[in-house]
């Protein structure tokens, strides 16, 4: 309300009350001013109604919300459903212009401000997470795989004769597809088994680079966050190779922003060698719905080249979700989440070792993975350790991955992998990985172990039977076993027996 409106208000309610109300409003306006001025995460998170007021003001600045606006174009931010309008705070124009995803949209000052402010918040949060020397970043409304592809295509444009991507193996289909869909050729560098851990073979990488010729290589794509028993790549060593051979270095930091170990690796690699871009998922790091990514790097011109290669306008949805979430968290809230995650990682490790002891299993010795663990699984003589995964799934456990030791060859986008899922052709044992990612609670962990214990008991019981019966009739036995599993889990869910909490 302006001064005139306020003085009119004073005719309706006592002036002192109006003044006090106006002062409260000015405090919020001041908060908004400080935010727009500094474009950093506030120390303390904002209340929902404060964020809503800011968003309402921003959406008032978009042409589709102008009073009496008359649109005669083909894209006028028209919305049919009021539900959809409210879901987006009436911001309907998206972000960017046809030539650049970070360009300002003349019809939509409000949406453009959301985009610019979100990118600034993202830069700040990357610094808070540990990559202090990051120079520039932008939010892309595409998940990690597609965003990696966008980056590789931007590299490719600068190295038109190159077609190879040097890629330390990580068994994640979207990584492979990001290269194939970009029309590039993955060159797999197999991981080295060091103790229980899978680590980058930088010697094999250097040999491969020399063999192919650095000028024929679009980039090296490394990975930080990954499932144990794989460890984050040796970023520093790879960065030094990239610098030596003048090859772009792209880092898949999918959920690595939440781990100070991963961000430290990126920071150090950029300091001692070459890092061009690192990409991180919004949903995996910031507790927002799937659909967005942050593309970040150390050279603003390169980051701009990538943003310019995005064809057309883009959804503002992921930026808006991040904008709201970061304002709501504040830097204190974000730091607390990171700290809690670290505590939960330690707790998960302790509980996993106790679980291993009481079930006669072994936790694999993975020193370098700061987010997940792997536990060796009992080798069933009938080789059906993956049933454990199914049993966990029917008990509403999600995210635990059971990796069966196998010499099966899997083809992903035309690329063949032996023992796919294990990150290695012949990793010595079947194992299960569990992760302590941001947002996990102690209840998640405790409940998981209750259910996992039940699954293990059940697995051991049924597999003794299966060994005997399977000598007579393999197929029939399998069917019977599956029925047993289903009966058991149906019973569990009825009686609540699957649960102790």
Task: State the nearest-atom distance from the C-beta of 281 to ligand PLP, in Å.
Answer: 5
Whole-number Å distance between alpha carbons of 325 and 286: 8
Q: Which stretch binds ligand PLP (CB under 6 A): 22-30, 142-150, 234-242, 435-443?
A: 142-150
Nearest residue (beta carbon) to ligand PLP: 143
Query: By CB under 6 A, is residue 223 in contact with ligand PLP?
Result: yes
The span of 59-67, 143-151, 357-365, 421-429 binding ligand PLP (CB under 6 A) equals 143-151
User: What distance in Å separates the CA atoms of residue 71 and residue 77, rounded to the nearest whole number?
Assistant: 9
**Residue 97: burial class (beta carbons within 10 Å; 0-12, 13-18, 19+):** middle
User: How many whole angstroms separate alpha carbon 54 and alpha carbon 490?
Assistant: 49
Q: Using the rule CB under 6 A, is 307 a contact of ligand PLP?
A: no
DSSP state of 233: P
User: Could you identify the residue written with the tokens 């079947």?
Assistant: 430
Residue 247 CA to residue 265 CA, distance in Å, equals 19
Q: Is 181 in the site for ligand PLP (CB under 6 A)?
A: no
Contact window for ligand PLP (CB under 6 A) among 3-11, 41-49, 101-109, 141-149: 141-149
371 binds ligand PLP (CB under 6 A): no
Residue 250 found at the interface with ligand PLP (CB under 6 A) = no
CB atoms within 10 A of CB 382: 16
Here's the x/- map for ligand PLP, 254-273, by CB under 6 A: it reads as: xx------------------
C-alpha closest to that of 120 among 4, 213, 26, 39: 39
Q: From the CB of 41, what's the least distance to ligand PLP, in Å?
A: 23
The 159-178 site mask, x for binding ligand PLP (CB under 6 A), equals -----------x-x-xx---
The reply on whether position 226 binds ligand PLP by CB under 6 A is yes
Rounded Cα distance, 492 and 192, in Å:
42
Q: Does 143 bind ligand PLP (CB under 6 A)?
A: yes
Give the max Cα distance, the chain: 94
Establish if 369 lies at the interface with ligand PLP (CB under 6 A).
no
**Surface-to-core class of residue 286, CB atoms within 10 Å of its CB (0-12 exposed, 13-18 middle, 19+ buried):** buried
Contact 143, 291 (CB under 8 A): yes
Alpha-carbon distance of 167 to 449, in angstroms, equals: 35
- For ligand PLP, the binding residue among 136, 191, 252, 285 (CB under 6 A) is 252
Q: How far from the centroid of its chain's Cα atoms is residue 497's Cα?
A: 34
| Segment interacting with ligand PLP (CB under 6 A) among 65-73, 218-226, 369-377, 492-500 | 218-226
To the nearest whole angstrom, how small is the minimum distance from the Cβ of residue 226 to ligand PLP? 5
Backbone angles phi, psi at 229, to 5 degrees: -80, 5
Among 111, 200, 225, 477, binds ligand PLP (CB under 6 A): 225
Q: Which CB atom, from 145 or from 248, has the smaller least distance to ligand PLP?
A: 145
Q: Is 127 helix (H, G, I), strand (E, B) or coil?
A: helix
Shortest distance, position 284 Cβ to ligand PLP, whole Å: 6
Binding site for ligand PLP (CB under 6 A): 143-145, 170, 172, 174-175, 223, 225-226, 252, 254-255, 281
């Amino acid at each position: 309300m302006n001064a005139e409106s306020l003085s009119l208000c004073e005719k309706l309610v006592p002036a002192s009350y109006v003044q006090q109300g106006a002062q409260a409003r000015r405090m919020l306006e001041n908060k908004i001013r400080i935010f727009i001025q500094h474009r950093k995460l506030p120390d303390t998170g904002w209340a929902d109604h404060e964020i809503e007021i800011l968003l309402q003001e921003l959406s008032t600045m978009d042409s589709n919300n102008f009073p009496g606006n008359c649109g005669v174009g083909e894209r006028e931010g028209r919305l049919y459903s009021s539900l959809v309008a409210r879901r987006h705070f009436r911001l309907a124009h998206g972000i960017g212009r046809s030539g650049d995803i970070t360009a300002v949209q003349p019809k939509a000052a409000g949406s453009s401000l959301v985009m610019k402010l979100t990118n600034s918040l993202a830069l700040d949060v990357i610094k808070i997470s540990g990559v202090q020397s990051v120079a520039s970043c932008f939010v892309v409304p595409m998940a990690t795989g597609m965003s990696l592809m966008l980056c590789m295509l931007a590299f490719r444009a600068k190295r038109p004769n190159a077609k190879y991507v040097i890629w330390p193996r990580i068994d994640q289909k979207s990584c492979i597809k990001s290269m194939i869909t970009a029309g590039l050729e993955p060159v797999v560098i197999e991981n080295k088994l060091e103790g229980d851990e899978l680590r980058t073979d930088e010697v094999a990488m250097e040999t491969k680079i020399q063999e192919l010729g650095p000028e024929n290589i679009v980039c090296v794509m490394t990975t930080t966050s990954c499932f144990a028993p794989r460890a984050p790549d040796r970023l520093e060593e790879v960065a030094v190779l990239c610098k030596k051979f003048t090859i772009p270095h792209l880092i898949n930091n999918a959920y690595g922003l939440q781990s100070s170990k991963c961000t430290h690796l990126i920071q150090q690699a950029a300091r001692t060698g070459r890092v061009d871009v690192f990409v991180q998922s919004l949903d995996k790091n910031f507790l927002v719905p799937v659909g967005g990514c942050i593309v970040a790097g150390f050279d603003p011109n390169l980051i701009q080249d990538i943003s310019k290669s995005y064809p057309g306008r883009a959804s503002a949805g992921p930026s808006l979700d991040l904008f709201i979430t970061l304002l709501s968290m504040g830097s204190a809230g974000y730091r607390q989440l990171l700290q809690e995650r670290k505590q939960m990682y330690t707790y998960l490790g302790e509980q996993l070792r106790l679980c291993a002891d009481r079930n006669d299993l072994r936790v694999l010795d993975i020193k370098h993975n700061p987010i997940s663990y792997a536990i060796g699984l009992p080798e069933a003589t009938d080789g059906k350790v993956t049933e454990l995964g199914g049993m966990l799934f029917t008990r509403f456990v999600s995210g635990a991955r059971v990796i069966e030791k196998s010499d099966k060859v899997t083809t992903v986008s035309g690329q063949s992998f032996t023992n796919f899922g294990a990150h290695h052709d012949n990793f010595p044992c079947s194992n299960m990985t569990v992760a302590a990612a941001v947002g996990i609670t102690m209840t998640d962990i405790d409940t998981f172990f209750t259910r996992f214990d039940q699954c293990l008991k059940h697995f051991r019981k049924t597999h003794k039977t299966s060994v005997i019966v399977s000598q007579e009739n393999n197929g029939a036995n399998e069917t019977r076993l599956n029925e047993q599993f289903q009966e058991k889990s149906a019973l569990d869910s009825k009686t609540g027996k699957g649960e102790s909490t």
